[in-house]
Structure 1
Amino acid sequence: MTDPHDEPSVTLGNVSGSTFAIGSHARAVSHHGTAPARDEATEQLLAAVRELRADLTRVRGTDRTAALDAELAGAEEEITATGQAGPTRRERLRALLADSQSLLNVLASAGTVAGLLGR
């Protein structure tokens, strides 16, 4: 039986306002006090993500719409936290949007009708 006093240990004091990572593949990212800067394209993507999430609440939910909404929520959080949506997140969104093409056609056609009615 091993003596618990022989085990390595780590002691952390007050770490408020600090950023650290532990482990061989750990990565620490810190954004204390300010939101990360976003370029115009990312601002437009964030606005479109929020708009599509709002639109999804207006349609009957399915497994596909739930998966799409979850990924859109993740993208919104990622953009808000880091100032961008990473390539992996973008690829997952593209795949989900391609799978949801019929839903998107309905939403796009509703927008077209609304635009024509506004004339």
Structure 2
Amino acid sequence: ASFLVKHLLIDWREGEKWFWDTLVDADYGSNSVNWQWTAGTGVDSNMFVRIMAPLSQSEKFDAARYIREWVPELVDLREPYIHDPDEYGARPKSYPRKIIGHKAGRERALKAHEVVKG
């Protein structure tokens, strides 16, 4: 949700619709309110400027084992390369290129927030 809304600047309602159509146990309250919370809209929401830091969290919480289990293209990479193969020039050919880098996505989201804020 955070990546879709903040890095890609896609309206939270698009994510909400996709999850509603995809989840077997979709719940209107949980689905729509959680998307609003992530987007920083609605009541009692997360501040929009709080943007996830997936790369630092990956290293901090030792996600390498999880990545090796669920991302077979990265199974042979050692740390710290496994957390951000592009950053280290270690991206295997079979691993897709980034849609947007975290730093660029974060800066883009903060600029968009400033524009909306006025």
- How high is the TM-score relative to the length of structure 2? 0.24
Structure index of larger Rg: 1
- How high is the TM-score relative to the length of structure 1? 0.23
